[in-house]
Amino acid sequence: MGWLVIGLIACLSLFGARPAQANTVADGSAAHTASGRVAPIASITDETVPFPANVPNPLPVGVALRLNGVSRIAEKSGTFDGDFDLQLRWRDPGLAFDAKANGTDRQEYGGDEAADKLATIWTPAVVVDNLSDKTIQGEPGLFIFSDGSVVYTQRYKTTFDASFKLGAFPFDTQALPVHLLSSLYSVNQISFVQEQRDVNASGIKDGIKSSGWKVKRLDFLGSRLRAWNGEFVPEIEARIILSRVPFAHVLGIFTPFVLILLVPTVFTLYTKEGIGPRLTAWSGSIFALIALNFTLSSRYPNLDSESLVSQVLSTGYAYQLIMVTLNVTLFNPAIAERLANRFVIQEIQAFLRWGMPVGLFAFLLTRTMLTALSW
């Protein structure tokens, strides 16, 4: 009976952990986040520079993002490495100039010149709110057109924070965010928009690949965030939608799982070994499944009790408990003869010899297919 207790404890241990969740709160001026991981995009500006005059209220700020690459997607640390080009555009009539007098309809600035020019003009003070690493590779670019239109570009090649939902792992689809908001202006002053030209400038680089993942599309979701002072600030989130390539994970999870249950099942159902060797085999199986559980929990700490992997492991514990019970009852001659007529016992044993393995396989296959098809 000691092994039964061990099996029950193992089942309960599977449900004991809950993944920690990180919360982001608004703090600071209009929308300064408590995380402190806020990097300037177009916020290299003197706050004394006046808001543009003779513009719509709120002032539209166009947002475009083109993904060049995504790598090192780490569920354990909740981060990913992204490489993309960000473009912001707005119009400030105060920056308009005579194209004929200047001999060109636009002024171009790059690198340090762009940073210096940005410090002298109004900008929407846009920040990336989910940067994990403030180190940004890539120089800014600035274009000012004769009608006062401003286009700001910045290449980002750095690490971002992300929240992963692993309920359907390894058949899951993830949305990796690039979260933009204004650190100074409310929704009454500016608004993030995506007109057709912004849509055309957005997208995914042809031939982009990410190890273990398939990049599917790029979505944008606009919303607003309530700041500490009660004001609402505009925000927009670019979401990189990826689906996991499940084959390697399926082999890595189900192969050891099947092997852990296979040997003691054969000992119990298809050999004439005594109860001692059979219980020894099942005790080893129980400890092996506990070890597999801890291994997967360490590798994927965000897995919760509702995930496919957790349910598969729970099924394994339940199967072990049932098989240990059968070993000490129906497959134990000293006990079986007291439960029913030997011919009845033989029929039940004959049914269990194919019913238990087939039932386990059918349940796991059905649960896996439902998870794969529902995501």
The CATH number covering residue 325 comes to: 1.20.58
Last residue of a domain, one of 226, 244, 262: 244
Domain assignment of residue 86, given as a range? 39-244
238-251, pLDDT tens digit by residue? 999 999 999 889 99
Mean pLDDT of 354-358: 94
Q: 292 and 238 share a domain?
A: no
CATH code, 116: 2.70.170.10
Same domain, 211 and 301: no
Q: What is the pTM of this model?
A: 0.77
Domain co-membership, 314 together with 177:
no
In a domain, 28, yes or no: no
| pLDDT band of 74, cuts 50, 70, 90 | very high
pLDDT at res. 47? 61
The domain boundary residue, chosen from 195, 215, 244: 244
**3-state secondary structure labels for all residues of the chain:** CHHHHHHHHHHHHHCCCCCCCCCCCECCCCCCECCCCCEECCCCCCCCCCCCCCCCCCEEEEEEEEEEEEEEEECCCCEEEEEEEEEEEEECHHHCCCHHHHCCCEEEEECHHHHHHHCCCCCCCEEECCECCCCCCCCEEEEEECCCEEEEEEEEEEEEECCCCCCCCCCCEEEEEEEEEECCCCCCCEEEECCHHHHHHCEECCCCCECCEEEEEEEEEEEEEECCCCCEEEEEEEEEEEEECCHHHHHHHHHHHHHHHHHHHHHHHHCCCCHHHHHHHHHHHHHHHHHHHHHHHHHCCCCCCCCHHHHHHHHHHHHHHHHHHHHHCCCCHHHHHHHCCHHHHHHHHHHHHHHHHHHHHHHHHHHHHHHHHHC
Kindly report, residue by residue over 193-237, the tens digit of the pLDDT.
Answer: 999 999 999 999 998 989 999 999 999 999 988 888 888 999 999
* pLDDT tens string 79-121: 999 999 999 999 999 999 999 988 899 999 998 999 899 999 9
Pair (202, 62) in one structural domain? yes
